[in-house]
């Protein structure tokens, strides 16, 4: 088809006005644009809106140009609004599940507190705090109901269940990008400037009522914050839940020197304080401890980054406080699942400790001997640090199945002193009544050393090549470590005695020892090719698994799931993976698995390794590889993974 040439004249067929032809454009004729969002003024007046950009025709006609504003985020047909509403509904479900879980296992006093909050129509944020549910910006329930109803009624809103990727964003219309931007502004992590305007982002009921057990100053020890209350809060958490289970220095001497504020102290330094604050942040629910407000696994990372910066600035100069900081940093990396970096950090601590002369058969760096005798405090702290390295070295080397550094402290563990202190659950809101109990720090420290010495013997035994093929010889030789392990266990208060005055460090110590015994049983059962001793070994396995379950339940019923010592992260993770394949073998395995699921749910929003483990277990159940108990499914289904 040829286009008409305007320069040519056609013959006149009949009288009339001459015809003229408008030049045709090659551009496609645009279709009428359908407006998906009305301005706020037209919505309020319930009139037809011509759409963006403002002002619309209706507002111009009504003389309300200044009142014409568009808010695309209120268009509930958009995917971003749909996803926001789904997230809000998920938050409500998580709160409901946490409430049910708390009511099932809480004391009557705590249940009365929950009922009081509900009866007086208290804010949902208060209820979330009371049931250990992460604080969420809950939307007004009427708005949420209307939104969810609109979603179900709108036939045009179809979710594919997948996140918006970058390709989809590039192909969107400008109006869609504007909507996505509005959604991001609503749901993005809380910025520091918003903390002051959002009362629930920074101040919670617990933090208002919180009185730290230990009061210290932030300066001059950390550049991350100058908030003395926050630092006191974190220091109190650390010495309540973590330090009694893993002692790398003397609590009294450290606190005395921290309060003095002298930067060149031998017992306190900025790198050590920032490392402590990094560990302590895992126990805190305050939003300010998150380095990324959208990432719950980022607790304490700002303090950790500061400790790393200070470590680089020291350029390898050996200092006792730096060794202690490296041990804490190693622990953080370990429970974050960064195994290789954790092992390298431990190696740095071991080498620096050797340079300082903390171990036998190793002189100080450059062969120098100390010119002046050490003070009594220094001898104690050096001994505590040396045995702390010994314990951590055995634990991490066995976890990673690597050859330990085989360090031997210069002095016996008894040289660490007999200082003890009172132990009180912190924060106080965690319990209605927090009785004062003995921390038993020297006893726990010595018990950990003895337990790890037995572990060395067991490890060497299982690695003996001549015993791998001869099970009867292996079992005969294993009776020695078994007897030592059971004797060690019998020397400590049993579960009935611990139940009268339970403290986390005693329970963690017993749980760890039982976990070692269970693993040893499993190793021997796997090597019993002839099933000659299988019945005896399985009976012992069931007995100790049952006791470990009772210990886990005692911890949960005594202290809840808000603060769980980091020393249990590895136990929970490895035990879950081991028991998921043994659920059909015995009731003991099922009960232990269910109790471990409770602890895993308490740890899942603090430790990514636990969240990944839950995800793996749910995937095994979905593919039919593992048959989970109904109770376990009900617990793990709340993870929304």
Query: How would residue 200 be classed by pLDDT, with cut points 50, 70 and 90?
Result: very low
Least confident of 288-292, 307-311, 321-325: 288-292
Q: Taking the CB of residue 109, how many other CB atoms lie within 10 A of it?
A: 10
Contact partners, residue 633, CB within 8 Å, separation at least 6: 621
pLDDT bracket for residue 350 (50, 70, 90): very high
Structure tokens at 511: 């749980």
Which are the contacts of 263, defined by CB distance < 8 A and separation ≥ 6?
A: 220, 269, 270
Based on the number of CB atoms within 10 Å of its own CB, is 35 exposed (0-12), middle (13-18) or buried (19 or more)?
middle
Looking at the predicted structure, is the pLDDT value of residue 551 above 90?
A: yes
Q: Is the pLDDT of residue 387 over 70?
A: yes
pLDDT in tens, 567-602: 999 899 989 998 998 888 788 899 999 999 999 998
pLDDT single digits (tens) 158-199: 333 333 343 333 333 333 333 333 333 333 333 434 433 343
Separation of first and last alpha carbons in the chain: 61
What is the Cα–Cα distance from 224 to 280, expressed in whole angstroms? 14
Q: What is the pLDDT of residue 21?
A: 47
Whether residue 222 is predicted with pLDDT greater than 60 in this model: the reply is yes
Q: List CB contacts of 593: < 8 A, sequence separation 6 or more.
A: 576, 579, 580, 583, 628, 629, 632
Looking at residue 175, what is its pLDDT? 36
* pLDDT for position 121: 76
Percent with pLDDT over 70 in the chain? 71
Q: Can you give the pLDDT at residue 348? A: 96
Could you give the CA distance from residue 261 to residue 275 in angstroms, rounded to a whole number? Answer: 17
Between residues 8 and 284, which one has the greater pLDDT? 284
**Tokens 């396995």 map to which residue?**
541
Number of residues in the chain: 641
- Only one residue has tokens 């910025």, namely 191
The predicted pLDDT at position 79 comes to 54
Query: What pLDDT is recorded for position 526?
Result: 73
128 vs 35, residue with greater confidence: 128
43 pLDDT above the threshold of 50: yes
Alpha carbon distance 620, 577 (integer Å) = 11
Please check the confidence at residue 81 and state whether its pLDDT lies above 60: no
CB-hemisphere CA count at 13 Å for 581?
Answer: 5
Is the confidence at residue 391, as pLDDT, over 50?
A: yes
Q: What is the pLDDT of residues 513-536, one digit of tens each?
A: 999 888 888 877 776 655 556 677
Q: Is the pLDDT of residue 7 over 60?
A: no
Q: What is the rounded average pLDDT for all residues in the chain? A: 78
Per-residue pLDDT at 421 exceeds 90: yes
Q: What is the pLDDT of residues 149-166, one digit of tens each?
A: 444 444 343 333 333 343
CA–CA dist 324, 343 (Å, integer): 15
Cis omega (within 30 of 0) for bond into 53: yes
The predicted structure's pLDDT at residue 28: 44
Sequence spans of domains, the chain? 40-70, 80-188, 214-416, 442-639
pLDDT of amino acid 226: 93
What's the average model confidence in pLDDT over 479-508?
Answer: 87
Matching residue, tokens 């403002």: 54
Band (pLDDT 50/70/90 cuts) for residue 32 is low
Range in 82-91, 486-495, 507-516 with the lowest mean pLDDT: 82-91
144 cis-preceded (ω within 30 degrees of 0): no
The Cβ of residue 434 has, within 10 Å, a number of other Cβ atoms equal to 15
Find, among 79, 233, 240, the residue nearest to 160 by Cα.
79
- Whether pLDDT at 131 is above 80: no
Query: Given CA atoms 452, 454, 457, 458 in this order, what sign does their dihedral have?
Result: negative
What's the confidence (pLDDT) of residue 382?
Answer: 96
What's 27's DSSP letter?
A: S
């Amino acid at each position: 088809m040829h286009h008409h040439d305007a320069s040519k004249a056609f013959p006149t067929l009949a009288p009339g006005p001459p015809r003229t032809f408008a030049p045709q454009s090659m551009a496609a004729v645009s279709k009428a644009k359908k407006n998906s969002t009305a301005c706020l003024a037209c919505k309020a007046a319930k009139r037809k809106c011509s759409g963006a950009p403002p002002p619309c025709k209706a507002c111009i006609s009504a003389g309300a140009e200044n009142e014409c504003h568009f808010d695309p985020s209120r268009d509930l047909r958009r995917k971003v609004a749909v996803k926001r509403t789904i997230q809000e509904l998920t938050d409500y479900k998580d709160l409901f599940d946490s409430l049910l879980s708390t009511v099932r296992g809480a004391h009557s006093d705590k249940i009365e507190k929950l009922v009081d909050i509900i009866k007086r129509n208290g804010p949902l944020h208060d209820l979330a705090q009371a049931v250990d549910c992460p604080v969420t910006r809950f939307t007004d329930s009427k708005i949420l109901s209307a939104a969810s109803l609109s979603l179900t009624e709108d036939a045009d809103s179809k979710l594919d269940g997948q996140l918006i990727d970058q390709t989809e964003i590039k192909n969107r219309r400008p109006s869609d990008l504007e909507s996505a931007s509005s959604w991001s502004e609503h749901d993005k992590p809380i910025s520091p400037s918003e903390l002051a305007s959002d009362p629930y982002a920074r101040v919670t009921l617990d933090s208002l009522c919180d009185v730290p057990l230990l009061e210290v100053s932030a300066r001059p020890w950390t550049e991350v914050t100058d908030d003395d209350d926050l630092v006191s809060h974190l220091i109190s958490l650390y010495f309540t839940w973590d330090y009694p289970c893993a002692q790398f220095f003397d609590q009294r001497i450290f606190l005395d020197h921290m309060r003095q504020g002298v930067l060149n102290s031998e017992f306190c330094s900025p790198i050590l304080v920032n490392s402590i604050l990094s560990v302590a942040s895992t126990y805190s629910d305050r939003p300010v401890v998150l380095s990324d407000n959208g990432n719950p696994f980022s607790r304490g990372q700002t303090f950790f980054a500061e400790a790393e910066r200070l470590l680089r600035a020291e350029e390898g100069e050996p200092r006792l406080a730096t060794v202690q900081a490296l041990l804490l940093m190693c622990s953080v990396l370990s429970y974050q699942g960064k195994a290789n970096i954790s092992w390298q950090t431990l190696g740095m601590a071991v080498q620096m400790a050797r340079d300082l002369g903390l171990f036998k058969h190793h002189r100080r760096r450059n062969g120098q001997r100390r010119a002046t005798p050490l003070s009594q405090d220094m001898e104690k702290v050096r001994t505590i640090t040396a045995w702390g390295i010994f314990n951590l070295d055995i634990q991490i080397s066995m976890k990673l199945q690597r050859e330990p550094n085989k360090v031997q402290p210069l002095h016996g563990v008894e040289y660490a002193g007999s200082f003890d202190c009172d132990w009180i659950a912190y924060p106080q809101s965690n319990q209605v009544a927090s009785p004062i109990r003995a921390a038993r720090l020297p006893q726990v420290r010595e018990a950990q050393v003895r337990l790890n010495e037995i572990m060395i013997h067991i490890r060497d035994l299982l690695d003996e090549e001549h015993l791998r093929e001869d099970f009867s010889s292996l079992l005969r030789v294993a009776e020695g470590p078994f007897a030592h392990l059971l004797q060690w266990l019998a020397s400590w208060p049993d579960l009935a005695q611990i139940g009268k005055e339970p403290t986390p460090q005693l329970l963690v110590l017993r749980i760890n020892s039982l976990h070692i015994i269970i693993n040893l049983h499993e190793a021997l059962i796997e090597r019993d090719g002839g099933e000659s001793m299988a019945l005896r070994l399985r009976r012992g396995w069931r007995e100790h698994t049952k006791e470990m379950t009772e210990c886990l339940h005692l911890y949960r019923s005594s202290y809840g799931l808000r603060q769980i010592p980091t020393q249990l992260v590895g136990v929970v993770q490895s035990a879950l993976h081991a028991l998921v394949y043994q659920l059909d073998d015995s009731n003991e395995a099922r009960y232990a698995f269910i109790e471990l699921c409770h602890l895993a749910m308490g740890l899942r929003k603090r430790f990514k390794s636990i969240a990944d483990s839950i995800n793996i277990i749910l995937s095994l159940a979905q593919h039919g590889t593992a048959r989970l108990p109904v109770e376990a499914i009900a617990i793990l289904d709340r993870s929304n993974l």
